[in-house]
Structure 1
Amino acid sequence: MPTPITPCLWFTENAEEAMEFYCSVFPNSRIVSIERYPDESLDPHYAGMSGKVINGSFDLDGNRFICLDGGPAFTFNEAISLTVECADQAEIDHYWSSLSAVPDSEQCGWLKDKYGISWQIVPANLGELMTGDAQVRALMGMKKIVIEQLVNAD
């Protein structure tokens, strides 16, 4: 039996809000559990964190994630992204319009959401669509991927 790998997302202070948002975007999603920081008098590391999420668990369409409110020490960057392989243009459009919040970060199917997480919103058959130089040029000129433009590129 393989060992599951579960991404952990470190939010500054809005992990619960983020879990609720992502569960509203992806079908078959739910918050599994939320554990909150204990009283801040127990340890100096808990200062200012009382009531925030120390461990949250949520499922996005069958994929488990965990998260926490960890303060501002670390932030998300493009070195890590989450990829959504979409069945068709309607799915691409849905996820793009739901998640994209930083227009300057959009390129070739990549976007950044309001929490700073980078996503790749791509057709599941992207490899099959990339049949030559014309498709590569078309993709490089896109922000959101438009399947029809890849198919008709020449």
Structure 2
Amino acid sequence: METINQKITPFLWFDKNAEEAVNFYISVFKDAKIKTVQRVNGAVLTIAFELNGQEFVALNGGPMFKFTEAVSFVIYCKDQGEIDYFWKSLAEGGQEQQCGWLKDKFGLSWQVVPANIDKLLNPGDPQKTDRAMQALMKMVKLDIKALQEA
């Protein structure tokens, strides 16, 4: 396996569809690449890949473990167009959830949020913060304009 360049790397356990999942993630994220593929008897065992500079390893480890919301990834988006893109791409075949959360078709949880989510939810006025949080709690896919207007 190629040398990993970061101190901590998420290791994603799949039953037997790691290659399909990695190819899906590579197609969704523009700045993405497969780094190495390790095979055993011709079958994929692990795939090291990178999404926007973040390194991951996918493993075909069998059906013993499934993804849960206990571990998830947040995508910080520069604008509503980027939120819409990632939401549509990752939610296809998956499950939309509240507050910008979704599960992709492989069961991995993502939250798709604006890059300035902290500022939108904490504008410095307690009443505005309360209204913004109430607006967020009613949303599935996040709407930047609605959060700004809350």
Runs of at least 4 residues off by over 4 Å: none
Which residue is equivalent to 2:134?
A: 137
Is the contact made by 2:18 and 2:46 (CA closer than 8 Å) also made in structure 1? no
Task: Give per-residue Cα distances to partners, 1:8-48, cap 9 Å, x unaligned.
Answer: 0000110011111101100121111111123xxxxxxxxxx
Work out which of the two has the higher radius of gyration on C-alpha atoms and give 1 or 2. Answer: 1
Specify the alignment match of 1:11 in structure 2. Answer: 14
Identity score, percent: 49
TM-score by length of 2: 0.88
* Alignment match, 1:67: 58
Superposed CA offset, 1:57-93 (max 9, x none): 0011111100111110000000000111111111100
What is the TM-score of this pair, normalised by structure 1?
A: 0.86
Alpha-carbon contact 1:52-1:69 (below 8 Å) kept = no
Mark the runs of 5 or more structure 2 residues left unpaired by the alignment. 124-128
Query: Which of these residues, 58, 77, 81, is aligned with residue 86 of structure 1?
Result: 77
Shift of 1:109: 0.7
Deviation, 1:3, is 5.7
Q: What 5-or-longer segments of structure 1 have no aligned partner? A: 39-50
Q: What is the alpha-carbon distance in structure 2 between the residues aligned to residue 26 and residue 94 of structure 1?
A: 10
| Greater strand content | 2
CA RMSD of aligned residues (A): 1.4
Which SS does the other structure have where 2:35 is aligned? Answer: strand
Verify: 1:115 aligned to 2:73, yes or no.
Answer: no
**Contact 1:6 1:64 (8 Å CA) reproduced:** yes
Distance of 1:90 and 1:53 partners within structure 2: 35
